[in-house]
Structure 1
Amino acid sequence: MAGCGDPPPSEYPTQQVYVEDTTLGPGDVFDVRVFRQDDMSGTYSVSAEGTISFPLVGTVEVAGRTPAEVERTLRERLADGFLKNPQVSVLVKEYKSKKVSVFGEVKKPGTLLYSEGMTVVEAVAQAGGFTDLARKNAVTVTRTLAGEKTNYTVPVQDIGRGQADNFFVRPGDVVFVPRRLW
């Protein structure tokens, strides 16, 4: 029965040592609060062009920028003739531009919204869990970093049972659950 066994798991990163990518992208939703300016405070969605339209200052480029960079830009533009020493805060509600794909032998294959600290077990669970034909300890996660793809063989069933180290997914990862051979 040696041919039916699962492949050995890859050596994979087991800690979430990676700095989260907090830059904004199209579809992301965030709140802007301007202290003592309720009419300017509100929820904004990043357009397909990567911009928002903000009261008094007009169109603001936000795609590829962090919330802190957007705060600084809004503060500078509001201080330029509109408000004296404005205090601005930006809080991201949803990163719709950051996704993880899960396909293969899961009940609801597709694309999921990435959430900070998401594990491969959570990604499979959000995709409806394994089908009856899933090869649960032979899951492949494909990650592209600086244009280079790396494949990891991840023992998801063992992770779920506490028998293997967790695997943290990142935005852009592709999780593939293969079919059992028998």
Structure 2
Amino acid sequence: MPVGFKSRPIGPLALVLLAGLWLSACAPQASVSGYEQLNDEIREELQLVGLGVGDVFSVSVYGEKELSGEHQISPEGTVDVPLIGRVEVQGKTPSEIARVLEERFLAGYLKAPYVSVYVKQYNSKKIFVLGMVRKPGTFPLTAGMNVVEAVTMAGGFTETANANFVVVTRKQDGQEVRIPVPVEKISKGLAANLDLKAGDIVFVPDRLL
């Protein structure tokens, strides 16, 4: 006679555990390609941000190695560049700085200068709010500023903003760390806010993408 096993009814606690396991298995996971796309979008938008005191950028002059190098913006908002001397750069974007340098080099020094500018460090005490906000840009960091306040300073969300998938990019121990911040839930008291640090990048994605 075969040996049978008597089944037992599943209790409510077991049902909850099984449901949790099923939901976690079915939940969508963040893909590597998704983060790579986010990185590209952030880098593109940072090219539209003006630099400030203490920021470090490199200058590459095509075919002129001795004119290339790194520069840190002085407290006066300037840098000293070989051949052309002191240049006012505070508040200018990397592409604007490149154009200014090309114009200065062209004025009696080089025939057809081609200049590239790459930001190495954002050291000025500011934060960046980019993506689907009404007034993206750079904002001064104040003590205790959080993500919700930063979005408000940037004019609030646009109509297509994905408010529950805001991402804060932060330098930590020499590496970039991504921190998801569900701003819509925060505004409803369903999640904790996040205080910002100097150099943080608040990125609001488009829910239509």
How high is the TM-score relative to the length of structure 2? 0.42
Which has the larger share of helix? 2
Greater relative contact order structure (CA < 8 Å, 6+ sep):
1
